[in-house]
Amino acid sequence: MKNTTNKTQTQVQQPELPQGLSRESLKTVAVIGILVLAFLRWNDVIAILVNVMILIYSLVGQNFGIALILFTILIRLVTWPLNAQQMKGAAAMQQLQNDKEWLAIQKKYAKDREKLAQEQMRIYREKGINPFGSCLPTLIQFPILFALIPSITYAIGSTPLSILKLSRSVYPFLDVAKLVPLNSKFLWMDLGLPERTLLFGLWSIPVLAVIVGLTTYIQTKLTMPPSTNPNDQAAATGKMMGIYMPIMLFFFSLNYASGLAVYFIISNILSIVQYSLMGKVNWRNLLPGGQKK
């Protein structure tokens, strides 16, 4: 009886949506809207990131390395709900792959793609699953990731054009003239340049790019939900991403400012922490053949 009352109350609180428009499709439209807005106001997105970075830099003793780490933590905190939603969406999709009804329609309509799509949409609706639920939060984070590249470059200002662009990005309340150029030395790196470490005085090794590749690989492996269904497409895509994402980010880190590589590493570590806190880390995936168990 109590449950029924709560349910009724919840139903009363939610505003009615126009016919044919679900809450999930509204979310999709909202995400697309945000992406379009970010694209149209690209310089503003960069400016926000630059100003936040410089503000943190001015507060933490003018060390850009520490500022960048704190900035990454801030970004992860801001995008925490999005990541959590992504995890839930991925888990729901994973469960669906083992659902009897789902498997049955795959078999039944294997040769009728149109009917299969209709049936799939029906099941999504019935179970309240958004098929884009796991990728929409990721899409929202793309503008942040791509805006980070120029933001770090402008903030460090190691070239004439980057300092000039910085002058157009900073808000008046930050007295940037006193701070520019930012101190980009951190540990053994210059965060404004791609990192290379001379090994035994002979080989120039991109240590940071290798760490980025490794941590991305570990992060994707650990956060991949277990799957027993050999036809699970989501799991197959996840596996592929587990290979290609580390390669892609390795190449990014190889050529861009090492500050970006620091962002990737910290972000990967924080992602593992978030998954751990939500009890979603699958440590077995790191072991050879671990996924089969």
Partner 1 sequence: MRKKFVFVIMIVLAAIVLSGCTGAVAWPGLGADEQTAYLANGQFVYALNSSDGKERWHYPLQADSKLTFYSPPVVTPEGLVIIGSSGINHSLIAVNPQKFPDILPAPVGGFQRFFCSIGLAICPKPVEVEEWIFTEAKDHWVAGPLALDGKLFAPNADGNLYVLDLNDGRLIKKIALDGESNRPNRLWAQPITDGERIFVTSLDHSVYAIDIETHEIIWHEGLGGAIPGGAVLASDGMLYAGSLSKQLERFDPATGAHEPVLDTKGWIWGTPVSEGDNLYFSDVDGYFYSYNTKNQKLDWEPVKPDSAITASPLAQSDNVLLATESGNVYSVDPDGKVALWYDEPSDGKAYTTPVSSDGHILIAYLEADYFLLALNEDGHQAWTFPSQQ
Residues that bind partner 1 (CB under 8 A): 62, 158-164, 167, 177-178, 180-185, 240, 243-244, 247-248, 250-252, 254-256
CB of 236 to partner 1, least distance (A): 9
What does the DSSP 8-state code read for residue 283? G
Residue number, 129 or 246, with CB nearest to partner 1: 246
Owner of token pair 């751990």: 276
Residue number, 93 or 260, with CB nearest to partner 1: 260
For residue 105, give every residue at least 6 positions away whose Cβ sits within 8 Å of its Cβ, in sequence order, or none: 116, 119, 120, 123
CB of 146 to partner 1, least distance (A): 9
State whether the Cα torsion 195-199-204-209 is positive or negative: negative
Backbone angles phi, psi at 231, to 5 degrees: -95, 10
CB of 196 to partner 1, least distance (A): 9
Instruction: Kindly calculate the radius of gyration of the chain based on its CA atoms and give it in whole angstroms.
Output: 23
Q: Which contiguous run of DSSP H or E holds residue 27?
A: helix 23-40
Instruction: Tell me the C-alpha distance between 284 and 71, whole Å.
Output: 31
CB of 50 to partner 1, least distance (A): 16
Residue number, 87 or 191, with CB nearest to partner 1: 191
Whether residue 269 contacts residue 231, with contact meaning beta carbons closer than 8 Å, is answered with no
CB of 272 to partner 1, least distance (A): 23
Residue number, 179 or 278, with CB nearest to partner 1: 179
Residue number, 225 or 246, with CB nearest to partner 1: 246
Instruction: Tell me the C-alpha distance between 260 and 257, whole Å.
Output: 6
CB of 170 to partner 1, least distance (A): 11
Residue number, 182 or 262, with CB nearest to partner 1: 182
